[in-house]
Amino acid sequence: MISVTFINAEGDSQVVHGVDGQSLLNLAQASGQSLEGTCEGQMACSTCHVIIDKDWFDKLPPAVEDEEDMLDLATGARRTSRLSCQITLTSALDGLVVHVPAESRNMQGL
């Protein structure tokens, strides 16, 4: 199992466990995090953006140009922002810490 800590805008944290090959977006949605991701990983939106903890950002593969373009549209994007639909969990990401921006939306209506 791969542990990921989600920290919301209020500073509350939740540690959840995913599996190798699972997208960060799917893990977030399964654990009730407020990320929308209506594009289902096709990068047609920026609603699943998260802010990667600065200690973990350089451990991720670089964003492709399309992802960078989508991040330009994200509300509240930071230098370490990424689209959660484009991050695939691996054992190298065990312990990953991500921040869910206050501007995020939730397709589950939570």
pLDDT at residue 109, as a whole number: 45
Q: Does residue 93 surpass a pLDDT of 90?
A: yes
Alpha helix positions (H), 4-95? 24-30, 54-57, 65-71
Return the SS3 of 47.
coil
* Burial state string for 31-49 with b = 16 or more CB within 10 A and e = fewer than 16: eebbbbbebeeebebbbbb
The pTM assigned to this predicted structure is: 0.88
pLDDT in tens, 53-74: 999 999 999 999 999 999 988 8
Task: Note the pLDDT of residue 74.
Answer: 86
Q: Are 16 and 6 in contact (CB under 8 A)?
A: yes
Q: Which two tokens stand for residue 67?
A: 């992802």
